């Protein structure tokens, strides 16, 4: 299957700082990228969907000013958690979809905000 990378794989930061997470599709062009959040033993929660070159579409209840998404190219999307707080600590996973509707996930980023 296609490969999606995420960086960093884990990050610890102080409350009030911003954290950027990168998501790259390594061997295909992703027409759409998705960002999910997952709490322990719970399913994936879709945060936002982005298409290259256009603004992200956020799910209800997700603050777009707090979770900034940039889909700069067909292979790169970034999620920036601004002014992170302990309640933002979670497992963030991106996924990328090509032209045939198959959706591939990155390995995830574990964020811990102290």
Partner 1 sequence: QKEVEQDPGPLSVPEGAIVSLNCTYSNSAFQYFMWYRQYSRKGPELLMYTYSSGNKEDGRFTAQVDKSSKYISLFIRDSQPSDSATYLCAMSETGGFKTIFGAGTRLFVKA
Q: Which is nearer to partner 1, 62 or 82 (CB)?
A: 62
Q: Return the residues of window 12-41 that contact partner 1 according to CB under 8 A.
A: 32, 34
**CA–CA separation, 4 vs 45, rounded Å?**
19
Scanning 12-20, 62-70, 73-81, 104-112 for contacts with partner 1 by CB under 8 A, the matching segment is 104-112
Nearer to partner 1, 19 or 97 (CB): 97
């062009």: which residue's tokens?
29
Query: Looking at beta carbons only, is 49 or 70 nearer to partner 1?
Result: 49
Tokens of 113: 């905000």
104 counts as binding partner 1 under rule CB under 8 A? yes
DSSP secondary structure letters along 41-105: T---EEEEEEETTSPPEEPTT--TTTEEEEEEETTEEEEEE-S--GGG-EEEEEEEE-TTS-EEE
Residues 41-100 within binding reach of partner 1 (CB under 8 A): 43-44, 46, 49, 57, 91, 93, 95, 97
Nearby residues of 114 by Cβ (< 8 Å), 6 or more positions away: 12, 13, 14, 15, 86
Contact footprint for partner 1 (CB under 8 A): 1, 4, 6, 32, 34, 43-44, 46, 49, 57, 91, 93, 95, 97, 101-108, 110
């Amino acid at each position: 299957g296609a490969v999606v990378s995420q960086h960093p794989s884990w990050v610890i930061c102080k409350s009030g700082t911003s954290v950027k997470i990168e998501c790259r599709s390594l061997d295909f062009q992703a027409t759409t990228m998705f960002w999910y959040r997952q709490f322990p033993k719970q399913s994936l929660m879709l945060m936002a969907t982005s298409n290259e070159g256009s603004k992200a579409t956020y799910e209800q209840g997700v603050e777009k000013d707090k979770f900034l998404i940039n889909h700069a190219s067909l292979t790169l999307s970034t999620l920036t958690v601004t002014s992170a707080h302990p309640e933002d600590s979670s497992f963030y996973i991106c996924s990328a979809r090509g032209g045939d509707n198959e959706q591939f996930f990155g390995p995830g980023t574990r964020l811990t905000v102290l």
